[in-house]
Each structure stands twice: as structure tokens, then as C-alpha cells.
Structure 1
Amino acid sequence: MAMLGKFDVREDPEQKAKCDETMELLLAAGYFRVRIKGLSDFDKVVGGLAWSIQACNFAVDIDVLYQENTILGQKIALTERIVLVLSRMKCPHSIEPFQIQGGDFIHIFPVIQWLVKRVFERRAEIGDFNRAYTLNQYNKRFGELTDEIKSTSTKENVEDIRARHQPKRRFRCLDKKKKRFNNADERRKRIHSTLVEFGQMHQLLDTSDGSEKPQQDVDALIKNMVNEKSKITTQIVNSLVNQQQDALRGIIEDFEEKEKARLEEALLSESGQQQLALRTFKVQLNKQNERINTLQMNIEQTQNKKEQKKNSALEIKQQHDQLQEELEQIENQTKNVDPEALKRVQALVADYEAAKKEETELRAKYRKERDELEQENAKLEARLQASPDADSAENERMKQIEEQYQLVSDRLQKQRLAMAKKVREISALSRRIDDIPSANELAQYRQAFFQLYNQSAVLYRQTKQNYTLYNTFTDMIDYMTKEIMLIESINEGYP
């Protein structure tokens, strides 16, 4: 079988330019597989279409696993599913499976451009939702850390307040002997003495309900401490304490409760100030957030208006391009037609229009004359019925009118026949013009020839492989037959 020859396949520069624009558009949209040099244009286009459709939240029921030497039928079956999904998406640009398979980038580019536009619109729609969802998930996971930080700062502030307001010693007892307190009364006495040293007796004095003597004794004790600069003896303190043990016991208990309440109140007052400052800060923060949200809404509205104007400009540009393409197609079609035939057709069309206009005018004129003649005929018939013995001149006039009417009818019939003949000639010329293929049809024929050539090349390659395999098996059978015959001869010669 003869070897398959190499053919010089010419590339269309317009198709090449559209191919480059399509790949750049897919790369700008985020489909980076177009950078792989080992992939064919068909794989890149099919992958880009499938990726764009899935990015628009539409499902494509295809298997995009790479297969080497895919036949023409498999490629068309793959592209048919993509075209089906595009029809569901209501794509304004029509495309056929064989155009995708054959690499007709002039028709593929508008579809890719529309899909990329849909991808960007989809990203803008779900961007705010994804951002809000991300913030929600962050607050769910790391919101507790913020509360812990706030509670830690509050505890530090409380510790700072306690450190600033530590109790200070104002007086000092002169009894420096260390005694062991064996019972509760002696401990209470010591507590009372220590409180007096730190200047906390005003709360004890407020709670006393008995006589003024304990208060006077305590005042005298404090006065002596001040005058003697802490030289008072422990015997004096013990004597004062022993006089009112029961009263002092109640006073100490009340003092402990009030001291605890005072400390809590101080802490609450400090925390209240902090809460008030925190609440004021939150109000200011909310106002700033509202202002930021308002500015963001204004920015989004401005961006939306900008996008709308941009989209309208793109639509106007696309319409202009379509009109330009249609004008170029019409010019190309007129270039392929014979100028003389075109002039004849134009002249015949002009004659047809003139004849049609003349026919309309004649019909109106003859209809008017017919109506007048019918009216006059009716009048004459009425007169004949009224006077049966009328002149013969009226009869002759009626004959002349009928003859004139017959002549006009004959002329009208001739004009109709001539117009029908012209119409037949125009129809024949139109059919001859339609028989001449246009540039688009020639391009489709060329694309179909390329597809048939590729298919025949694949079939030739498969047939050649089958022939080679058949010859190999035939040789193996011959060798095995000879080997069997040799073994049988050896077996017969050496029993």
C-alpha cells in the first residue's frame, strides 16, 4: 500500500488571529491550561468551554480525560454535549459541533467572550456571599479569643486598682511583744487593734448602737497614739478592748461585712466606668461602621453604573461589528457575481417595479372607468325601460362603449402577459445567482473537506496497522507450520 503523502495545509490568517484572541481571553479569565504547549487547540477550547460553563454553575456531562488519537465521531459527540448546555444557558451566539471540532474560531470567539463575561458576573454575585460566610466562620472559631482578651484586660485593670489603693499604716502599737493567741477573743482584740492602726475605725463607729463610752475610749486611744507618736502600750489597748468584748465582736463582724461590700462597690464602680467607656467606644465604632457601609454602598452603586455603561458600550460595539460583518459579506457576495448579469437583473427589477406601478395605476383608472360605464349603462337601461321606442343613436353609442371596453381589456391582458414573462425571467436569473456558492459556503465546504481528509487519514493508519498485524500473524503461522513439520519428521526418523 502506498505511503500517505504530506500535504501543504494553508492556515487562514483571520482564523489564526481569532485563535490567539480566544486563548488570551481564556487565560485572562483564569483558565491557565492554555499555557501548556503539548495540548492541541481542540483540547484547549473544549477544556475552556467546560471550565467556563462550570464556573457559571451549570453542569457538563462529559469526560475530559485526555485520550490520544481521538476519532472524529468522539470529538463531535463531545462537542454536542457542550452545545446542548450552551442552548440551556440561552447563549445568544449560535454554534455547531463541527465548528468546535474543526477549529472555526471566528464562530467560537463570540461564544467564549460571552461565557467569560458570565463568569465575571457570577464571581461578582457570589463574592459578597463568600466574604460574609468567611467572616461568620472566623467569628465562630476565633470569637472566644476576643472575649478572653477583653476579660484578661479587665482583670489587669482590677489588679492595677487594687495595687494603687493598698492599705497604709497610720498608727503603730507600742506593744512589740509577740503573743500567742490561744482563744478567739484574743484574736478579735488583735484584729481590732490592727484596724485602728490602719485608720479603718470610722466604719466601726458608724455601726455601734450602744453608749458613747466605747467611742470615747477609741478616740482617746487614737489621740494618745497621735500625741505619743505610736508610743502607746499594749496594756492600755487591752484594757479598752476587755471592757466591751461583746460590743467589739459585733462591731468587727459588721466591719468585715461592710468592708467586703465597700471593696465590691469600689470594684463595681471602676468596672462601671470601664463599661461606660467601652459602651461609648462601641457607639462611636457603630457610627463609623455605618458611615463606612454608606460609603461602600455608594462605591458599589457607582461601580454598578460604570459596569452598566460599559456593558451598553460593549453591546453597541458588538452590534456595530455585526453590521460591519454583514456589510462585508454582502460586498463579498456582490463581488463574486458577474457585473453584466447584475446590471441585467437590476434593469429587469426596475422594469418589474415600473410595470407593477403602471399596472396599479391602470387598474385604478380602468376600475374608475368601469364604474362610470356601469353607472351610465344603468341610466341607459332605465331610460330604455322607461321609453322602449328610443332612438337608434343610443344603441350605437352603447356599441361604441362596449368596443372601447373590449380594446382596453385586451390591452390589459397583453400587459399582464408581458409582466408574467418578465417575472419568469427574473426568477430564472435569481435561481442562477443562488446556484453560485457564497464565501461562507465555500469555507464550510473547505472545512468539511479537511474533516474528511483527517478521517480518511485515521482510517488509512488503522488499515495499515491491521495489514501489518495480519502479515505478522501469517508469518508466525508459516514458521509454526514449518516447525511442526520438522518436529514430526524428527519424530518419524527417531522412534
Structure 2
Amino acid sequence: MANRDVFSKILPNVKLGTRYDEDGREVQVERREDSDATAKEQDTFDILVAAGYYRARIKGLSAFDKVVGGMTWCIECYDYDVDVDLLFHESLSIGQKIALVEKIVAVLIDMKCPHSLEPHQVQGLEFLAIHPVIQWLVKTSVENRAERGQRLKRFAIGQFHNHYQYKSDKDNLTKIRLASTNIKAIQDLYGPRRQYERQEAPDDDDDVSRVRLTLLEYGDPGPTFRSSGERKADRGPGEKDEHDLEEYLRSLSLIKDDPTGTQKRIDLDPTALQELQQHYPEFKLEMDTDAQELKSQNQQKRLEAPKIAMEHKIRRYCKENEQLKDAENEQKEKTMEVEDQLNTLNTELKAHKDTQDKADPKLLEKIQSLLQQHEELKKSEAEFKESCRTDLANLQLQIDDLEAFSAQDAEAQAAALAGEEQRLKELRLQLAKRNRGIVAIERKLDAIPDRTELAQYQRRFHELHNEMSGKHLETKQYYTLYNTLNDKKRYMEKELALLNSICEATNEGMMSPHGREDFIRQFESIVDGVKSAQDKVRHKYNEERISRRAERGAAIAAGTAAPVCSGCQAANPRVPALRAAATAAQVN
């Protein structure tokens, strides 16, 4: 028993998968079922369908076509630049499928797929190895499609801005173009201007000294710097600054602009230089004071703007809060009213239920039916009143028209009547025309037979066909009978002529012995001729009889055998004639 189970051709959990040999013929091979592989297979197809490859939903396609087609589609969506032809269609031979799988595996290696896959795994439909690769391909293709969509969106926006502009952008460009001249004039007006020029370079080559000297040339003393660490140790900060300032001012001279635009150098004498030194601290103090006041004013303005905005927001929020409170109070009142109504209705419903439980069921049914009739009567009454109102309005309109017509004079009434008569004639003509068209269409429709008439026509045609076939067969039998009688007549005439010639030859031949021998010899030749004619006719009769039997056997085999008399006579018109000839020959 165990050996029979082991070597049985039908094993449990085994399915026959379709493979192809080298000639392209289908080969049935055994493939064991695996629950994990089946789950991975279904999951793989679901992933492909969710990604947009809907051919994986077709039940008529094999799993190999779905997997290879899905991998090819994902690679095409990934836009990976490979020098490989990945064209896939359903009518590929087994060799082309193997080559395509090898190309796909090579492309996956070039794409740096993190999961390994071999061609035989794809051909063997090992979904435990195919599933992670499909997951990675779908993920990369979806990401690439999203990136490509963003790229195309940015390109479309850029092209739009290159060829079109909003009205606000055009207004801003116009404002900037108009304000650029004013901005340039202001920049030229308040730009830095050089007031002094160096006479000789300072002895100290410190960067701080050069910066301070440059600022002094443009009228700005700048911050107080200390030139070096040695001066800091030798002198105090105040003494050092005054010495540096006097030294720098001695090395400067005024610059005066002439009308031609050229600058001339004017050397300062000690008195002008002293006045300049005295004026400089006052000017610096004024500038510092103005700068502080301007800074405080700017700060105050900057603080006032947010303050005003906050006040506006506070007022708006307070107003919204009051509105919300009013709405809340209204909703509370409505809620209380609805609750009161609900309580009242519940009380009434409870009372009705108690009354219904205590009342007689038959009486309750009768009351319900009467209430229903009452509702229907009220509804019909309302409809009747509405129809009466409509009729009353129409009648009132007619009365108004008649009153207006009667208020007119005779000529106007006659003109109105003539117009109405003319309108009535036109309407009648249109009605007659419409009726003629309807009649013509009805005639055309009547001319087209329906299914019942077509069935009657078909039945009548069958009857006529059968009648014509019977008449044709009868006519053919008449012709056959005529031919038979004609042949019989001809043979009887020949027989009569032959008998007359024999009688005449007998009287003449019996007169002499020589004539008797000639008569006997001629009579023998006549008998031989009759026998040969009889043999010929009998041979033809046998041939026609054999052919008739063959045709009759074929008709019986086909299930359409005809009666013997009419069929034979119709199929072989010469049979009766041959039969009559054979009979005449026997008589002779």
C-alpha cells in the first residue's frame, strides 16, 4: 500500500505547469504547490495592478507573461538609459522569452537592484525571489514618475512666466521703471562726497589709522581706535586720540569744486585748521543728537504700527466674540424650545400609546381607516379647490377678453373676427398638412411587412413551391408517358411493316425452290436483326435498371427516398420506352 502511494502518478499538492520545449511545443511538467509562493504570487500581481499595470488583472494571461510584462513596464517607467531592446508582446517564442528574461536580469544589475535574481528563477516562476524585485521596481518607478511630474510642472510654470505675465507684475515693473530715475537722483544727491585730500601719507602704516584717515577725508571722524599696544601702554586714551586727530587734520587740505567740475587743492593755514578743529566737536555732537532723535522717532513709529494693528485685531475679536455669544444664546433658546417640544411630543405619544393599548383593536382599525379616508378626502378636496381656482382664473381671463372685445367698435370687431378666421384657416391648413404627412408615413409603415406578414408570405411561398413542384413532376410524368407511347407506336409500326413485308415475300417466295431459299435466308437475317435489336434494348434496360437501383440506394442513405413509380419515371424517362421495346421484340 505504501509503495503504491509513493510511486503513484497523481501526488497530493502537485499541479501540472505549462512549459515549452525547444520546438515551441507545450510540455506538461509537475510543479508542487507552496502556500508562501502562492501568497507572494497574488501579492506580486496586486502590487503591479496598484502601480498601474492592469494587464496583470487579465485571467487569460499566464503568470510568466504577467511577471515579465510588469518588469518591462516598470523599467520603462523608471526611464533608465540602457542599450537593450526590452520590447514585450504576447506572441513571443520560448527562445525570445528566454532572451528577454536574460536582458531584464542584466538591466537589473546595471540599475543596482539590491535583490539578486536569476533568469531560471523568472522562468520557473519562483515568486519568493521575484516578489522583492517587483517591489523595488514598483517603488523606484513610482518615485521616478512623481519626480518627473514635479519637473514637468516646474518646466510648465517657467514656460508660462517666460511667455505670459500677470497684470500685477506688469504694474510693478511699470512702477519700478518710473521710480528708478528718482531713486538714482536721490542716491546721487545723498551719496558720499570727499571734502579733504591728503597732503602726504601718514607715518603709521596701521590699518586702523588708514581707515580713520579715509573717514576724515569724507567728513566723518569715525569711532575712537587705538593704533597699537605700545601707544596704549605709553599714553592715555584721551591724549592719544587728540594727538592722532591733530596729526590727521594737519595732513588734510580742503577740496573745492569749480564750475568745470575739476577739483582744486586748497592748503589750510593754522588759523583755518584751528577753527576746523573747534567746529568739528560741535558738528559731531549735533550729528549724534540728530541721529539719536531720528532713531527714537523711528523706533516710536515702528512700535505705533504694531500697536494700531493690535488694537484693530482686539476690536475685531471683541466684535466676533459678542456675535458668537449672541449666536450661542440663540442656539440655547432654540435648543430649549426643541427640548420642550420633544418632551410635549413624548408625553402625547405616551398618552396615545396608553389609549391605544386600552382601546378595542377593531375600533382602532376602523378609526385608522376613517382617518386615512379623511386624509384622502382632504387631499382630493385641496386638489379640487386648486383645479377650481385654475378654471376660475381661465374663465376670468376669457371674460376679460370678451368684455374687451365687446367694448370695441364694429370695425375693430370685424377686423378681429377676420383675423381669427384667417388664423383658424391657417391652423386648419397646417393640421391638414400634418395629417397628410401622418397618412403618408402610415402608408409607408403599412408597406413594410411585419413579422406576422413575413411569416404568412413565407408559408404561402412554400405552398406555391410545393404546388409548382407537384405540377412539374406531373408534367414530367406526362412527357414520359407520351415518349413511352410514342416509342411503343413506332415499334408497333415497324412490327406491322415487317409482318406485311413477310406476308408479301412469302407469297412470292413459295412459287419456286430458289425463291423459297432466298425467302428463308432473308427471314433468318430478319430474325437475327430482331434478336440483335432485342439484345441491345435489353442491355440498355439492364443499365438503366442498375443506375436506378444505385440512385435509389443513395436516396435511401440520404433519407430522401422517392416512391418507386414516380421516382423511377421522373429520374429515368427512358425506362418505360426500353421496357416497351423489349416487349415488342419478344412478341416478334
TM-score norm. by structure 1 comes to: 0.27
Higher alpha-carbon Rg: 2
More helix by share: 1
More strand by share: 2
Specify which structure has the bigger relative contact order, considering alpha-carbon pairs within 8 angstroms and separated by 6 or more residues. 1
TM-score norm. by structure 2 comes to: 0.23
